[in-house]
Amino acid sequence: MNLDLRNTARHLGLLMFVLSALVGAAAGFAGWDHAFAGHADTADIRALSATILIGVVVGGLLVFVGRGKAHMLGQREALLLVAASWLLGAVIAAMPYRVWSSLRPDAQVTAHSFDTFVNCYFEAMSGLTTTGATVVESIGTLPRSLLLWRAMTHWLGGLGIVVLFVAVLPLLGVGGRRVYRIEAPGPTPEGAMPRIQDTARILWFIYLGLTVAEVAALKLCGMDVFDAVCHTMGTLATGGFSTLDSSVAGFSSTAIHLVIIAFMVLAGINFGLYHQLLHRQWRSVLKDSELRAYLAIMFVATVIVTVCMLRAGQHVAAGGSQPAPVGLTVRDSLFQVVSIQTTTGFCTADFDAWGFTAKATLLILMFIGASAGSTGGGIKVVRILIAAKVILAEVEQVYRPKIVRTVKIGKAVIDPDLKRSTLAYVLSIAILFAIGTALLMFFESEGGVDITTAATASAATLNNIGPGLARVGATQNYAWFGASSKIVMCVLMPLGRLEMFAILVLFSPRFWRVE
């Protein structure tokens, strides 16, 4: 069957309208900031307005191209829609940065990271995929409206652009379920909810509820509303963009740290479990194998990092030689472990200065990641559980060839297809990580980038973390990479966020072929 490109184009066009409306929200804030908060310059208002115009024109063209009778989306069309919406969505999301950079008052005098489109696209893709890797060298140079837009890209990408679309517009029909399956992270969507639109709406209500709760909590701890909103969006999407160069380390209040830790942990849990909680199914939530493993890994990693820090007698935050108070060491170790495992990427410590064992622990957490069905990235805890159990069963098979043990997660028996696809997934991540590392080394070979930087940049973008080690460490940024390297990472980020296949199929000749 031929790919129905027209139908896909029409849906993509409608999605551009939705995105433009969201840019409108940021533009509204920019107007308010100009009118009431004493922000004199209007470059950001004009940039955001221009983006809305571009979005509407592109959307209109796509709808025009795709006019005619609407069909249901097939599997391939749904994949194409998701892939195209992320790749094109990032173009729209990059526009405010790029246009603002040309219009800002000192554009002729000083250079800015946003002077090149590839940097803006990197920042937008990093936002939408909830990676949180930034090319902005000094965040203070950005107007507040763009900081809000940056945080909004996280928030939108957290649950998925298209899932939002499904929730708002009842257009996709059966295709909607397909789209949802592609965008929702993890192998097992929990619960058996009858209609896909209902599912999408429930997810967004839970997401909104958590958002309101975290903004209120941060406000109570003394953060101002603007910072609270931006950091909340970064937390719940497990994104990591901050409004400060020093990230969360810039807020000294322990209460703020604890609130962000709590909501990062919550964002990394399967949202299906919240749905079960709403139905008062406490028991099944508490018995959930992935939740238990997720919290257990977090606990063990925190203990390891804390012990390393205390033994080294280093102040984790400062990385200096002064002995640290135990409480502060525990707090900062916990923050960094949670931030990396949930793939958020906020920093309260320069963990690049930590010892080998602590850094290796964080690197392992980058690959493990959060729970399936959460906003977090990485391989996902449930996949790690399945892969580990399959490999152990494989070893036992060698010395007890006649015993066939079923592999179980909780009470669910893992069927052969899921075993195979899980192993294939984990292996593919390892291969993509290696390819990413090799390409970054190759493109940066003139600058002589070290392998730690290349490998952790590859891991941090593929798993949607944000910061890595060495030259992409907690206090560094991604601005210094060449354009080719940035394009590589702009492919790695959606590969990780969409769990590879939606992007990978675009490279498969058979996908495009008529059959």
**Would you count residue 442 as binding its own copies (CB under 8 A)?**
yes
**Would you count residue 413 as binding its own copies (CB under 8 A)?**
no
The per-residue b/e assignment along 185-215, b for 16 or more CB within 10 angstroms, e otherwise, is: bbbbbbbeeeebbebbebbbebbeebbebbb
Which pair of tokens denotes residue 18?
């939705």
CB atoms within 10 A of CB 265: 18
Q: In the complex with its own copies, which residue's Cβ is closer, 220 or 451?
A: 451
**Would you count residue 426 as binding its own copies (CB under 8 A)?**
yes
According to CB under 8 A, which residues from 356 to 395 bind its own copies? Answer: 356-357, 360, 387, 390-392, 394-395
| Alpha-carbon dihedral angle through residues 258, 261, 266, 268, given to the nearest 10 degrees | 180
According to CB under 8 A, which residues from 117 to 146 bind its own copies? Answer: none
Q: How far is it, in rounded angstroms, from Cα 492 to Cα 510?
A: 22
Q: In the complex with its own copies, which residue's Cβ is closer, 292 or 419?
A: 419
Least CB distance from residue 104 to its own copies, whole Å?
39
Contact 200, 167 (CB under 8 A): yes
Q: In the complex with its own copies, which residue's Cβ is closer, 67 or 181?
A: 181
Q: In the complex with its own copies, which residue's Cβ is closer, 262 or 438?
A: 438
**Would you count residue 116 as binding its own copies (CB under 8 A)?**
no
Among 53, 225, 424, 483, binds its own copies (CB under 8 A): 424
Least CB distance from residue 8 to its own copies, whole Å?
13
**Would you count residue 514 as binding its own copies (CB under 8 A)?**
no
**Would you count residue 414 as binding its own copies (CB under 8 A)?**
no
Least CB distance from residue 71 to its own copies, whole Å?
17
**Would you count residue 430 as binding its own copies (CB under 8 A)?**
yes
**Would you count residue 287 as binding its own copies (CB under 8 A)?**
no
CB atoms within 10 A of CB 72: 14
User: Of 129-137, 224-232, 244-252, 437-445, which part binds its own copies (CB under 8 A)?
Assistant: 437-445
CB atoms within 10 A of CB 262: 15
- Phi, psi angle pair for 413, to nearest 5°: -80, 130
Q: In the complex with its own copies, which residue's Cβ is closer, 17 or 443?
A: 443
CA angle 132, 135, 141 (to 5 degrees): 105
Q: How far is it, in rounded angstroms, from Cα 372 to Cα 269?
A: 8
Residue whose C-alpha is closest to residue 22's, from 92, 121, 127, 98: 92
Q: In the complex with its own copies, which residue's Cβ is closer, 36 or 507?
A: 507
What angle, 0 to 180 degrees and rounded to 10, lies between the N-to-C axes of helices 174-183 and 196-220?
A: 40
**Would you count residue 423 as binding its own copies (CB under 8 A)?**
yes
**Would you count residue 312 as binding its own copies (CB under 8 A)?**
no
- SS3 label, residue 409: strand
- SS3 label, residue 143: coil
Task: Tell me the chain's radius of gyration from C-alpha atoms.
Answer: 23
Q: How far is it, in rounded angstroms, from Cα 26 to Cα 275?
A: 30
**Would you count residue 396 as binding its own copies (CB under 8 A)?**
yes
**Would you count residue 75 as binding its own copies (CB under 8 A)?**
yes
**Would you count residue 254 as binding its own copies (CB under 8 A)?**
no
- Stated as kind and residue range, the H or E segment containing 413 is strand 412-413
User: Of 89-97, 223-231, 373-381, 502-510, which part binds its own copies (CB under 8 A)?
Assistant: 502-510
Least CB distance from residue 472 to its own copies, whole Å?
15
Q: In the complex with its own copies, which residue's Cβ is closer, 210 or 390?
A: 390
Among 73, 79, 202, 293, binds its own copies (CB under 8 A): 79
Residues contacting residue 14 through CB under 8 Å, at least 6 positions apart:
59, 63, 165, 169, 171
Among 6, 76, 219, 292, binds its own copies (CB under 8 A): 76
**Would you count residue 419 as binding its own copies (CB under 8 A)?**
yes
Q: How far is it, in rounded angstroms, from Cα 95 to Cα 84?
A: 17
Check residue 237 and report its DSSP letter: T
Residues contacting residue 288 through CB under 8 Å, at least 6 positions apart:
270, 273, 410
Least CB distance from residue 182 to its own copies, whole Å?
8
User: Of 143-151, 313-321, 447-455, 473-481, which part binds its own copies (CB under 8 A)?
Assistant: 447-455
Q: What is the SS3 assignment for 14-71?
A: HHHHHHHHHHHHHHHHHHHHHHHCCCCCCHHHHHHHHHHHHHHHHHHHHHHHCCCCCC
**Would you count residue 495 as binding its own copies (CB under 8 A)?**
no
Q: In the complex with its own copies, which residue's Cβ is closer, 116 or 421?
A: 421
Amino acid at 381: V
Q: In the complex with its own copies, which residue's Cβ is closer, 109 or 514?
A: 514
According to CB under 8 A, which residues from 452 to 491 bind its own copies? Answer: 452, 455
Least CB distance from residue 76 to its own copies, whole Å?
5
According to CB under 8 A, which residues from 338 to 357 bind its own copies? Answer: 355-357
**Would you count residue 198 as binding its own copies (CB under 8 A)?**
no
User: Of 8-16, 56-64, 238-246, 438-446, which part binds its own copies (CB under 8 A)?
Assistant: 438-446
Binding site for its own copies (CB under 8 A): 75-76, 79, 355-357, 360, 387, 390-392, 394-401, 416, 419-421, 423-428, 430, 438, 441-442, 445, 451-452, 455, 501-502, 504-505, 508, 510-511
